[in-house]
Structure 1
Amino acid sequence: MRTTPLGGTGVRVTELSFGAAGIGNLYRPVTAEAAFAAVDAAWDAGIRAFDTAPHYGLGLSERRLGTALCDRPRDTYTVSTKVGRLLEPNPRGGAGDDLAHGFAVSDTHRRVWDFSADGVLRSLEASLDRLGLDRVDIALLHDPDDHAEQALTEAYPALERLRAEGVVKAIGIGTNQCALPARFLRETDIDVVLLAGRYTLLEQEGLAEVLPEAAARGRSVIIGGVFNSGLLTDPRPGATYDYAPAPRSVLDRALRLKAIAARHGVPLRAAALHFPFGHRAVASVLSGARSAEEVRDTVDRLRHPVAAALWDELHAEGLLAPDTPLPAVTPSKEAP
């Protein structure tokens, strides 16, 4: 599977990255065996970039990912985790669950927002302990939307120092909005943006500022949420968009995309996975999975050829702006 360096760093990511929120019991329980099988399937498919966070299952995702990778040579894969939410013991002692935050785990801990320099250090130290690793390759500011100034003035300088000391190799921001990562690209020396849901076949808000800024400055973008919370997996009434039922206008747009893709013999999921690679700033597409079957299906969709005629029709139907960059070729099928 093709790899690409992030910005000017030595960190390389495969064109498909494994999102580990699912194995942290996102929305429903996942057995440890299924979680490990998902990571094994990703490895067998050539995926060598893995993304996690303390937020995912109150640390469960990090623990499972670290266990699944522990016997692999450390220099052969890339791990990213995130800072901004510290996990502190819950005084109630896990009497309830964490479904209010989207994870089917006991609420043994609670999340505390902290974008201070000390919070960054404490978060990374705890993540390394859960992962069982001596280092992570990428550290991302996680959803600092309501904490922008502290993230810029305290958390970012701390990450910059850790990068200078070689503790982490690349730093950046992960969010599902565009204004803040664009500001970070202009005002800081981050290496990468993880942009979720804002540059997809359905919507291209990231094309206005984030992607051009990244390209102009030699930075990289990892695209998450290419299925827009599941809507582009199976557009139908009741399907979710941005973690809520899709508005009728958005659903209608997704159904039009599906119909056009079908006319060209392309599954909608395949077109959605291919689309972001048209922009030169995009280094990888991040896709979550909770089972080996989901991993293999995603890899198969990425390998499905997409004819130029499909993109031409989307342009002609006004579903893509005329200046939208498009993938020139199907991503490589070759193993690393």
Structure 2
Amino acid sequence: MGETRADDLVPLGRTGLRVSRLGLGLASLGGLFAPVSDEVAAATLDRAWELGIRLYDTAPVYGYGRSETRAGAALGPRPREEYVLCTKVGRLIEPGGRDTQPIWADPPPGVGPRLDYSYAGVLRSVEESLERLGLDRIDVLHVHDPEQDFPAAVSQAYRALAELRAKGVIGAVSLGVNHARVATDFLKEAPAPGPDCVLLAGRYNLLDQSGLGELLPLCARRGVAVMAAGVYQSGLLADPRPGAPHGHGTIPAGLAVRVGAWRAVCERFGVPPLAAAVQFPLGHPAVAAVVVGARAPEEVAGSVELFAHPIPEGFWVAVKSVGLLPASVPIPV
């Protein structure tokens, strides 16, 4: 991938913000699947900073406020103009919140998320996020999982965020989605000028390029910056054993064949599969950054090393020649 480095700063589309090519997602530091102590969370964020990462993505629902609190504690002492912080709206964290998710290992007692994409709910969410973060502004606000209440999200939530953007309270309006179709519909239906960015999780990576169908070309035409997340597929490419921590109790036969084929090409060229995974999305002109998670300092360092790992000339051509990627997919240069 040429001389691209994890700490290279690039424009985030039309927002006027600049981000590192590699960003850190903070779900794991909210206790995703397993607890993370305050000390390890702080050390992880410190290591990311030391390695030049300047894009951080959190959300109220990540550990029911815990991720935002930890992000603010670590980033608060840093020069505010030197990093871009993203969080999300669509879920309020409050006593009795019933839209709980079993994926959080040790959430704070007595509170839970409640879906709320209303105008008032979004403004309240922003205020509460700022309080948890202990910061005076948020750079990028994603409408989180807008399919949960699409009519309210594309009208009321977007209106609230567009007004905050116009007032300079936030730098950019974005979407945080797991489905390319949802983001495409939102971009088409939201009033002009529309969202500035899309955080796309799991839909533009080595095993799933569904974002390429309509969403990424639309983003490229409109100058909407894409942040690609979920590129490791929870480690499936690195450890495809059934029951490994990649979300598959059993791996479908067709997927297992594709994973095996990817691993074979990677072995032939001496490329770690996760190095190919973290570098691949940046081949598309709409993708400004790749966002990966980590729950310990060594995981951050590992991703930075993978991001910098040389990809031999001919690797991507070989991948296409065996049908692992469509011929039309843009590749890193």
Shift of 1:84: 0.1
* Residue number in structure 2 paired with 1:2: 8
Q: Which residue identity is paired with 1:124?
A: V
Q: Which residue identity is paired with 1:89?
A: P
| 2:97–2:113 CA contact under 8 A, matched in 1 | no
**Greater mean deviation of Cα atoms: 127-136 or 99-108:** 99-108
Q: Secondary structure at the match of 1:229?
A: helix
**1:64 paired to 2:66:** no
> Which of 19, 27, 36 is the equivalent residue of 1:21?
27
**1:218 paired to 2:223:** yes
**Greater mean deviation of Cα atoms: 299-308 or 251-260:** 251-260
Provide, for residues 224-266 of structure 1, a one-character-per-residue CA deviation record: whole Å limited to 9, x for no partner. Answer: 0001132123222234656764323212211211111111000
> Which of 35, 40, 55 is the equivalent residue of 2:41?
35
Q: Secondary structure at the match of 2:157?
A: helix
Provide, for residues 33-90 of structure 1, a one-character-per-residue CA deviation record: whole Å limited to 9, x for no partner. Answer: 1101110111011000100000100000000110011210111111000000001113
> Which of 272, 293, 296 is the equivalent residue of 2:277?
272
Q: Secondary structure at the match of 1:105?
A: coil
Q: Secondary structure at the match of 2:106?
A: strand
| 2:119–2:159 CA contact under 8 A, matched in 1 | yes
* Residue number in structure 2 paired with 1:201: 206
| 1:215–1:280 CA contact under 8 A, matched in 2 | yes
Quote the Cα distance in structure 2 between the aligned partners of 1:261 and 1:89.
49
* Residue number in structure 1 paired with 2:83: 77
> Which of 170, 176, 179 is the equivalent residue of 1:177?
179
Q: Secondary structure at the match of 1:110?
A: strand
Taking the TM superposition and a 5 Å limit, the aligned residue runs for 1:1-336 are: 1-90=7-96, 100-188=102-190, 189-239=194-244, 245-328=250-333
Shift of 1:277: 0.6
Compared CA separation, residues 106 and 243, structure 1 to 2 (3 A): farther
**TM-score, normalized by length of structure 2?**
0.93
| 2:117–2:153 CA contact under 8 A, matched in 1 | yes
**Greater mean deviation of Cα atoms: 249-258 or 77-86:** 249-258
Quote the Cα distance in structure 2 between the aligned partners of 1:6 and 1:243.
33
Compared CA separation, residues 170 and 244, structure 1 to 2 (3 A): farther
Shift of 1:180: 1.3
Identity %: 46
Q: Secondary structure at the match of 2:112?
A: strand
Q: Which residue identity is paired with 1:46?
A: G
Q: Secondary structure at the match of 2:234?
A: coil
* Residue number in structure 2 paired with 1:331: none
| 1:39–1:68 CA contact under 8 A, matched in 2 | yes
| 1:56–1:103 CA contact under 8 A, matched in 2 | no
Compared CA separation, residues 26 and 299, structure 1 to 2 (3 A): same
Q: State the Cα RMSD in Å.
A: 1.6
Structure 1: 5+ residue runs without aligned partners? Answer: 93-97, 329-336
Provide, for residues 111-132 of structure 1, a one-character-per-residue CA deviation record: whole Å limited to 9, x for no partner. Answer: 1100000011000100000000
| 1:237–1:251 CA contact under 8 A, matched in 2 | no
Quote the Cα distance in structure 2 between the aligned partners of 1:281 and 1:61.
28
Structure 2: 5+ residue runs without aligned partners? Answer: 1-6
The number of aligned residues is 323
Quote the Cα distance in structure 2 between the aligned partners of 1:241 and 1:319.
20
Q: Which residue identity is paired with 1:100?
A: P
Q: Secondary structure at the match of 1:211?
A: helix
Compared CA separation, residues 243 and 22, structure 1 to 2 (3 A): farther
Q: Which residue identity is paired with 2:52?
A: G
List 4+ stretches of structure 1 deviating above 3 A: 239-246
| 1:279–1:325 CA contact under 8 A, matched in 2 | yes
* Residue number in structure 2 paired with 1:332: none
Shift of 1:105: 2.3
Q: Which residue identity is paired with 1:51?
A: D
| 1:30–1:290 CA contact under 8 A, matched in 2 | yes
Q: Secondary structure at the match of 2:24?
A: strand
Quote the Cα distance in structure 1 between the aligned partners of 2:104 and 2:252.
21
Shift of 1:103: 3.4
